[in-house]
Amino acid sequence: MAFETIRKPEDIRASAALNDEIRARFTWADARAMLTGLPGGKLNIAHEALDRHVAAGHGDDPAMTWLGRDGARRAFTYADLAGRTARFADVLRAHGLAPGDRVFGLMGREPDLVVAALGTLKAGMVFSPLFSAFGPEPIRTRMDIGGAAALVTTEALYRRKIAAWRTDLPSLKLVLIAGDDAPEGCVALGPAMAAASDDFAPVPMDPEDPALIHFTSGTTGKPKGAVHVHGAVAYHAMTGKYALEMRPGTRYWCTADPGWVTGTSYGIIAPLANRVHMTLVEEEYVLEVWLSILQDERIEVWYTAPTAIRMMMRAGEDIARPYDLSALRFLASVGEPLNPEAVVWGNRVFGRPFHDNWWQTETGGIVIANTQAMDIKPGSMGKPLPGQVAGIVERDGDGVRECAEGEIGELALRPGWPSMMRAYLHEEARYAKCFAGGWYLTGDLAMRDADGYYWFVGRADDLIKTSGHLIGPFEVESALIEHEAVAEAAVIGLPDETAGEVVRAYVCLNPGFEPSEDLEKSIRGHARGRLGPAVAPREVVFRKTLPRTRSGKIMRRLLKAREMGLPEGDISTLESDET
C-alpha cells in the first residue's frame, strides 16, 4: 500500500521550534549562543551540561530519575550531578591522571556511568563508552587502540572481562570499581568519591580539544575510533532542541544503551545541555514495563529504536489502550531506517507518528530529521537540520558528481558542523578517504525528492544489482512488513548467473501465523504487487529470529555470508560490526 503524507495541524506548525524561517536565518553562531562558555573562548561539555545551570539558579531542578530492575528509584538534581561529577574528576586527578588522558566506561544504564562520563569531561580528559555486552576481546581491542589510562566498571564485569588481561595493557593506570569494595589492584569508587572534593571546577578546554572517542566497526570488523571535540556540545544542544523538541523541564526518555554514541550524545549530553528531566531505565525492552514507565513518569519526548517499535507492533494495536500516555507529545526513532508502516502504526496507536532521523557515529549528532513542524512522509529521513548542507553525489575519480533530483547516489555533507568527527584514531589515510570534492561522503545511498525530503536506500555495500536494476534492501523490507503476517524482514542479494543477483527475503512472523507454502506465496505476491516482479524477492525464507548486531541492527551481511558459505572466521568478523 502507498502511505499518505501525515499532515501536521497548523497550530503545531506555528508553535514548533523549527520552521522554515529559523532554517533560513540559522548560523553556527546561533548554536554556540545556546552555551555560556568559559572565559577566554574556552568551554567544557560538563560545564554546559551541568554547572552553568546550577550557576543560573537551577541547581534544584530535577536532572535525572533512574529506575532499576528491582523497583529501585533514585532522583538527581542538577546540583547533585554537578557535585558528583566534581568528585569523580577529583578522584581521577588524585590518582595522577591529567587532561587529555583517556577514560573508558564499561557499565550498563547506571547513574555511575553518567557521573563518570561527565566527570571525565569536567577533568579535561577524554571519555570513551564501551558496550557492557561486549566480550573480553572487543573490550581489550578498543582500550588498546584508545590508549586507555583508566577504566570505570563494575566488579562483576571486571572479573569476567578485564582481570585476565589487565596487566597486558601498559597504558591502563587505574581501574575504578562502582560500589564500596574492589578486587586487588583496583579502587572502590564509593569510598574514593566520599573522600573527594566537590569544588572541582570544569577545566577550560579549547573547542577543538578531544572530548569523546566513539568506536564503530566497518566491514572489515576492525574498530574505528571516531574522535569528537568539546565544541560538539553546541551541536548536541541545538539538535536536542530542534530535532527532539527538548525544553527546560521536558520529561525525556532515550532508550539507547550508554555504550553507543546515541546513549552519550542524546542519552546524556543533549538532554542535560537543554536542562531537561531525563529518565534512565536499567531494564532492557519489556513491553509492559516500558509502557508503564511512559505512563507513570509522564514522558513527553521518547527517543527509541526501530527494533523496539517493531516488537511493539507484533503485540498488536491494542497494546497502549490500558495506559494513560496523554503526556507524550513527540516520538522519535534512532539507529536504523524506520519502515513506513511503523510511522503510520505509531500515529494510529499513540496518536502521533514516530519521527525518523538520520546520523552516524562519525557525524556525532542528528543531521537529517523529521521535525515537529514538518509534514511526515512515512519512510523518509526528513530534511537537513539548520546549518547542514546535504547532497546526493556519485564518486568520480578523486572528485564527485552531484546527482539530480530523484537520482540515487551517496549521501554527502558539507564539512564543518561542530560535532563532525575530527579523526579516526591512528588512521589518517582512512579518515582522508571519507572526503572528496568538498564533501564528507557517508557511505549511505539515498535519494532527494522534489520537496527536499531525503530517502534512505541502503549502505553502498548492501545494494543489490539484479537484471540491470539497482535495489535497496530497505525498500523491499518495508514492503514486506506491510503484509499482515510479517513482523520483521531482511533482504539480501545472492549471486545468479543470469540476473547477476537475485533477491532473497528472510521474515519473522507475527503471532498467530505459521510458516507454510501458501503463506510464502502470499508474501511474495504482496511484494510483487507493491514493487513489481523485477524488485520483489524470488524467495521468502521463514525464520524465528534475524541475526543482529549487539546494538540491535539486522545484519544482512551475516545472512549473506552464511548463504555463500564463507569460512567461520569471515562470519565472526561480520558479527563484530555493531553499527
Q: Are 415 and 28 in contact (CB under 8 A)?
A: no
Q: pLDDT tens for residues 194-206?
A: 999 999 999 999 9
CA-wise closest residue to 303 among 345, 344, 341, 346: 346
Predicted local distance difference test score (pLDDT) of residue 470: 63
DSSP state of 229: E
174-183, 356-365, 549-558 — which is least confidently predicted? 549-558
Q: What is the DSSP string of 493-556?
A: EEEETTTEEEEEEEEEEPTT----HHHHHHHHHHHHHHH-TTTS-SEEEE-S---B-TTS-B-H
Q: Band the pLDDT of 1: cuts 50, 70, 90.
A: low
pLDDT value for 218:
47
437's grid cell:
570534492
Candidates 1.10.10.60, 3.55.50.30, 3.40.50.720, 3.30.300.30; CATH matching 463-546: 3.30.300.30
> What's the pLDDT score for residue 476?
87
What are the residues whose beta carbons fall under 8 Å from the beta carbon of 100, sequence distance 6 or more? 124, 125, 126, 209, 210
The pLDDT of residue 579: 33
Comparing CA positions, the residue from 255, 256, 301, 305 lying closest to residue 488 is 305
Does residue 561 have a pLDDT over 50? Answer: yes
Q: At 49, is the pLDDT very low, low, confident or very high (cuts 50, 70, 90)?
A: very high
pLDDT of residue 564: 66
Cα–Cα distance for residue pair 528/525, rounded to 1 Å:
5
Question: How confident is the model over 16-35, as a mean pLDDT?
Answer: 84
pLDDT band for 23, please (50, 70, 90 cuts): confident
Lowest mean pLDDT among 56-60, 82-86, 366-370, 532-536: 532-536
Residue 468, pLDDT above cutoff 80 = no
Name which of 487, 503, 502 is nearest 542 in CA terms.
Answer: 487
Range with the lowest mean pLDDT among 50-54, 137-141, 180-184, 545-549?
Answer: 545-549
Average pLDDT over residues 365-385: 96
Asked if residue 568 has pLDDT above 60, the reply is no
pLDDT of residue 495: 82
Residue 122, C-alpha cell as written in the block: 569536567
The answer, yes or no, to whether residue 328 has pLDDT greater than 80, is yes
pLDDT at 16: 62
Lowest pLDDT segment from 90-94, 135-139, 473-477: 473-477
pLDDT tens string 227-257: 999 999 999 999 999 999 999 999 999 999 9
Q: Quick one: fold of 10-448? A: Rossmann fold (3.40.50)
Residue spans per domain, the chain? 10-448, 463-546
pLDDT band, residue 458 (cuts 50/70/90): confident
pLDDT at residue 510, as a whole number = 92
In this prediction, residue 17 carries a pLDDT of 64
Q: For 180-196, what is the mean pLDDT?
A: 98
How far apart (Å, rounded) are the C-alpha atoms in residues 403 and 409?
Answer: 7
Residue 330 scores a pLDDT above 60:
yes
Q: What average pLDDT does range 210-224 have in this prediction?
A: 78
Residue with the larger pLDDT of the pair 43 and 572:
43
Choice between 529 and 524, residue whose per-residue pLDDT is larger = 524
Instruction: Tell me the pLDDT tens digit for each residue of 398-453.
Output: 889 999 999 999 999 999 999 999 999 999 999 999 999 999 999 999 999 999 99
Output the nine-digit C-alpha cell for 414.
Answer: 558539507
Q: pLDDT band at 555, cuts 50/70/90?
A: confident
| pLDDT the model gives residue 558 | 82
Question: Is residue 310 within a helix (H) or strand (E), and if so which, with residue range?
Answer: helix 306-314
